[in-house]
Structures are given as structure tokens and as C-alpha cells.
Copies of this chain bind each other. A is one copy, B any other.
Amino acid sequence: MIKQGDKAAIEKIFSQEEVIAYAKSSNDNNPVHFDPDYAEKTPFAKPIVHGMLAASLFGGLLGSDLPGKGTIHLGQELKFIKPVMVGEKVLATIEVTHIREDKPVFTFDCILTKEDGSVAIQGTAVVIFRGEVFK
């Protein structure tokens, strides 16, 4: 039984290969994501992960872990606060903050932190859990 305060978390290092695959798939071909020479001339200095790709970890936690299989993503809000570098280890955490009484609709706080503990992405997710249909 899922209750308020329940958490799930995952660590991840996005590789340059993953970022390139995402750039192609999303057509987001900004060289700041994969060209070290270009990135060096920007304030980021090194290639950065697309914010939406870094935020994909929240969907992964929701769909695979909490609530898990049978989760349907209804809404997502994201604030991109700091860049995530390619090859940098980050920690994505989700926490149940609200459960509707009439149906299995859950609201989650979503936070992606860097190794120094600072927040890179902050947001909220709303999902409905249809575990009875999606077995």
C-alpha cells in the first residue's frame, strides 16, 4: 500500500552515447550536448545532458519502481536549475506527497541532485496507477 512519504531513488551517469541517441531522437542537436570544442566556449565548459533526458529518470522510477508497472504518467512539471554534465553521477529521488481519496492518483515531488548535494532539477509528477488493468 503506497503512502505519503514513500520514496524511490536511482543513481545514474549519462554517457555521451546516450546523449547523442537522445539528440537524434528528439532532434535537439545543439552542439553543447556533444561537441567538446563548442561546449568549451560556453559557460558550461563541458557537454551537458539535455534537461529533459536527465528528467527521464523520474519517469523511470515511476514506471519501474513506485508505483511501478501499471503507472500512467498524467502530468509533469520541471524546473531546470543547474546543468547535468555528461559523465556526471546524479541521484534522482521521487517522494509521494499526495494521494487522492477517490482514485489511485498520486502526486510526487521529484528531485535530481548532483554529487555535491546541490539540486539540478526540481519538479512534481502526477500519475494514476492502473495495476489492476496492467498486470
Contact = CB atoms under 8 A, between A and B. Distances in A.
Contacts of A76: 51-52, 55, 76-78, 80
Contacts of A27: 10, 12, 57, 60-61, 64
> Does more than half of chain A's interface fall in helix, strand or loop, or is it mixed?
mixed
Contacts of A30: 63-64, 69, 71
Interface in A19-50: 21-22, 25-32, 41-43, 50
A30 B33 CA distance: 27
A115 to B, nearest CB: 19
B79 A75 contact: yes
A98 to B, nearest CB: 17
Contact of A59 (B28, B57, B60, B77): B28
Closest A-B pairs by Cβ, 10 of them:
A26-B56, A27-B60, A28-B60, A26-B60, A30-B63, A28-B63, A51-B73, A18-B25, A76-B78, A52-B59
